[in-house]
Structure 1
């Protein structure tokens, strides 16, 4: 069995009489190696949610999107994904540097499936996978501690209409977001920010 449950979990499991159920789920579905089924979910994904925590215990959750396959299974315990240009706050990535704790939630809204992967993350600007991801700032690798599917009953069924036009693609100039052209922010952009390039296309979304 894993050590996924802590005191708070146990208190609620006792209150609602789910400790036996929780124990069985831990025994049967929680694992720490990536199965072929897990790999299919991960490498088909074009988005996931990333939960992190700072040294004070304060949580942050962010959305990460890309082309299908932007999250790579490196080995049976490790996944990797690129970090692209964002708003410069680095809330999630800064938390990973500080605490390494990462929780990823993959959801396929068309098939109504979801999967969790929790583990420890590292960040590397010289990772060999950098060459495979145009405009990546660095690569994040997460070594899995717990992997498990979740009950799909509350997932709303949705279909993809269009992938984001801001996702970097090879041999194509990536547009910049219109908000980075605003008077309130343009004077504090980093020297190498793509928004400083007047020839770049600009899109609202």
Structure 2
């Protein structure tokens, strides 16, 4: 059942020591270094499984909070969380579980990592009753509705009902995890919280409900948000390259020192992207300001060609679309 994964290699790499212990070489090394080996061995012996026990499955069926950790093929990590109604993570059997991916911000960082690197670390934390956590580590795979429905006879009925649901609470897809490790996170330091009622609008794009600007990022200038000086340098070089390769503006640019052109383009970009601080506003006539930073003798026809290259460079380097639109509107002929 649920054979969506390749079999795990039975033999460890030749360079790794052969061991029946769970965990990594790094944790075993540190256990020896800091004298915790015996404590770790007791934990491995009494607490760590490579499947879900009956009580673990019952525990998961009550949870509405899941924290997940993934990484891409380079090992760059991302930590996120998933929420749902109690039991939104479904245990399929001792060795597999699935959780739904609801509509989010469209970035899909965790899902993207899973397509490159299937390793996933999960922790369920019961803040409201037992104050116990459950770690589940394994290999994950994205599963579309139609693929999951191939196992219709073996699926919980509420999974089928959720697939057939309409509106924001319908998952976009699922993540299936093959269990490799399952173990407790002890209650000692987990706080006991009191749950309060909250109305949840599933699948909304309402920035007010999402509290999207809670961290006041809109107050941070675009210069910083796109990466500062390295980003300005990349855009400057891209724009200048396009200008020099175009036959039309080259009639004007041939007379301009290349370093001067680079410096002036850089100054323009830093000005419009807020590098000099909020106290220095935009020039009153931004189009004329850009003309002076490129070639003061450009007519409006050539100017529009040059602005076309600027826009293409911004698009190619993934400057936010609404920022490009705002800039190009300010650069239109008055």
Is this a same-fold pair by TM over 0.5? Answer: yes
Instruction: Mark the CA change 1:67 to 1:76 in structure 2 (over 3 Å): closer, same or farther.
Output: same
* Aligned: 1:56 with 2:74: yes
When structure 1 is superposed on structure 2, of 65-74 and 133-142 the one drifting more is 133-142
- Counterpart pick for 1:115 among 97, 113, 134: 134
Deviation at 1:5, TM superposition (A): 2.4
> Which of 116, 138, 143 lines up with 1:124 in the alignment?
143
In structure 2, the partner of 1:148 is 183
SS of residue in 1 equivalent to 2:125: strand
What residue in structure 2 maps to residue 74 of structure 1?
92
Gaps of 5+ in 1: 168-173, 188-205
Match of 2:206 among 177, 180, 186: 177
User: 2: distance between equivalents of 1:2 and 1:109?
Assistant: 33
Determine the C-alpha separation between the residues in 2 that align with 1:50 and 1:164: 24
Which entry has the higher C-alpha Rg, 1 or 2? 2
The structure, 1 or 2, with the larger RCO (C-alpha pairs under 8 Å, 6+ apart) is: 1
Give the length in aligned residue pairs.
181
Contact 2:162/2:170 (8 A) holds in 1: no
Whose strand proportion is higher, 1 or 2?
Answer: 1
Structure 2: distance between partners of 1:92 and 1:15: 34
Q: Deviations over 1:70-103 (max 9, x none)?
A: 1101111111111011111111111111111111
Cα distance change of structure 1 residues 63 and 7 upon mapping to structure 2, 3 Å threshold: same
Give the Cα–Cα distance (whole angstroms) in 1 for the partners of residues 72 and 52 of structure 2: 27
Unaligned segments of structure 2, at least 5 residues: 1-18, 150-158, 164-168, 219-319, 323-334
Kept in 1, the 8 Å contact 2:21–2:44? The answer is: no
Separation in structure 2 between the aligned mates of residue 135 and residue 98 of structure 1, nearest angstrom: 25
1:110-165 residue CA offsets vs partner (Å, 9 max, x unmatched)? 22111000001111112224652442110111110000111211111101113560
Taking the aligned partners of 1:122 and 1:31, their CA distance within structure 2 comes to: 21
Counterpart secondary structure, 2:176: strand
Does residue 26 of structure 1 match 2:44? yes
Aligned partners of 1:53 and 1:148: how far apart in 2? 21
Secondary structure of the corresponding residue to residue 97 of structure 1: helix
Q: Are 1:90 and 2:115 counterparts?
A: no
Q: Please give the TM-score of this superposition, normalised by the length of structure 1.
A: 0.79
Instruction: Find the residue that maps to 2:122 and give its secondary structure.
Output: strand
* CA spacing shift, 1:135–1:186, aligned 2, 3 Å: farther
Conservation of the 8 A alpha-carbon contact between 1:165 and 1:175: no
Tell me what 1:39 maps to. Answer: 57
8 Å CA contact retained: 1:46, 1:65: yes
**Closer, same or farther in 2 for the Cα pair 1:2/1:137, shift >3 Å?**
farther
TM-score, normalization by structure 2 = 0.50
